[in-house]
């Protein structure tokens, strides 16, 4: 579904000065991205840039045997395909929509024209690239050193920051791919967190009951990545949450 862009909630776009935003505004359209939508595969030409207003897009690293694991996520603090504004690029990862996402979309070529004219847009691209690189580097360490339970909590907290509800629709298959584990492991971890009263886990749905509990179990990587984004990128506005 596509319609003209009405409001700006993405942190990168909302932080642009009016004169710089006017360079991109005529080319932005609003799209509703359904869960599971594939945006890029490794090797695809990055010809479109997405600025999420809410929701989560996952970057998945794929192995030759078909195994995959999440290396980073993108929400309203960032953009997917932003380096395509600098020069033609090929995607290094699979980009897939993990939760229903509203986003602003622009052609990479159109954003490149604005990038050439605006120092603020060039700075935005550089800072976002550094933040995303830091996110991916932290994910490498986290996937190697921390427990599945801690990583699951980290992912739920990151997702919670980017959506306006306490309910996250996620299939076992998605969760297993994100964490690089078997589905049975996902079930066991979710059951443990549910017994502690931190979440309610139903088939394909996770309800966050205690954010404080998830923070207590999560590894330090959640705060490391969050602080890095806040240091490098414009501060986000508070998201009003609906309690279910």
DSSP 233: S
Give the up-direction half-sphere exposure of residue 216: CA atoms within 13 A in the CB hemisphere: 8
What tokens does 38 get? 């594939």
Contact criterion met (CB below 8 Å) for 47 and 108 = yes
Nearest by Cα to 59 from 92, 106, 101, 102:
92
pLDDT at 234 (0 to 100): 66
C-alpha span between 159 and 73 (Å, rounded): 9
Q: Looking at the domain 2-118+132-142, which fold is it?
A: Jelly Rolls (2.60.120)
* CB atoms near residue 202 (< 10 Å): 12
Give the up-direction half-sphere exposure of residue 159: CA atoms within 13 A in the CB hemisphere: 26
Ranges of residues in the chain whose predicted pLDDT is under 50: 1-6, 236-244
Q: How would you label 125-139 residue by residue, b for 16+ Cβ within 10 Å and e otherwise?
A: bebbeebbebbbebb
pTM as predicted:
0.86
pLDDT at 179 (0 to 100): 84
| CATH code 1.10.10.10 for 145-232 | yes
C-alpha span between 186 and 177 (Å, rounded): 10
pLDDT at 7 (0 to 100): 60
Q: Is the dihedral of CA 11, 12, 16, 21 positive or negative?
A: negative
What tokens does 180 get? 């690089």
Per-domain boundaries in the chain:
2-118+132-142, 145-232
Contact criterion met (CB below 8 Å) for 144 and 86 = no
C-alpha span between 120 and 126 (Å, rounded): 10
């Amino acid at each position: 579904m596509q319609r003209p862009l009405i409001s700006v909630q993405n942190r990168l776009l909302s932080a642009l000065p009016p004169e710089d935003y006017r360079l991109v505004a005529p080319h932005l359209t609003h799209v509703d991205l359904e869960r599971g939508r594939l945006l890029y595969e490794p090797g695809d030409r990055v010809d479109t840039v997405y600025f999420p207003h809410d929701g989560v897009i996952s970057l998945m690293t794929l192995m030759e045997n078909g195994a995959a694991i999440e290396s980073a996520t993108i929400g309203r603090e960032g953009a997917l395909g932003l380096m395509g504004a600098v020069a033609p690029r090929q995607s290094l990862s699979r980009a897939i929509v993990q939760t229903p996402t509203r986003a602003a979309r622009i052609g990479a070529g159109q954003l490149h024209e604005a990038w050439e004219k605006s120092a603020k847009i060039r700075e935005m691209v550089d800072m976002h690239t550094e933040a995303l690189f830091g996110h991916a580097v932290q994910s490498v360490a986290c996937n190697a050193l921390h427990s599945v339970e801690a990583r699951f909590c980290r992912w739920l907290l990151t997702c919670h920051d980017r959506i306006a509800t306490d309910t996250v629709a996620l299939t076992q298959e998605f969760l297993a791919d994100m964490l690089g584990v078997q589905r049975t492991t996902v079930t066991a971890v979710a059951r443990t967190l549910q017994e502690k009263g931190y979440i309610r886990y139903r088939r394909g749905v996770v309800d966050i009951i205690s954010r404080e509990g998830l923070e207590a179990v999560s590894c330090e990587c959640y705060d490391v990545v969050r602080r890095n984004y806040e240091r490098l990128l414009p501060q986000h506005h508070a998201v009003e949450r609906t309690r279910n």
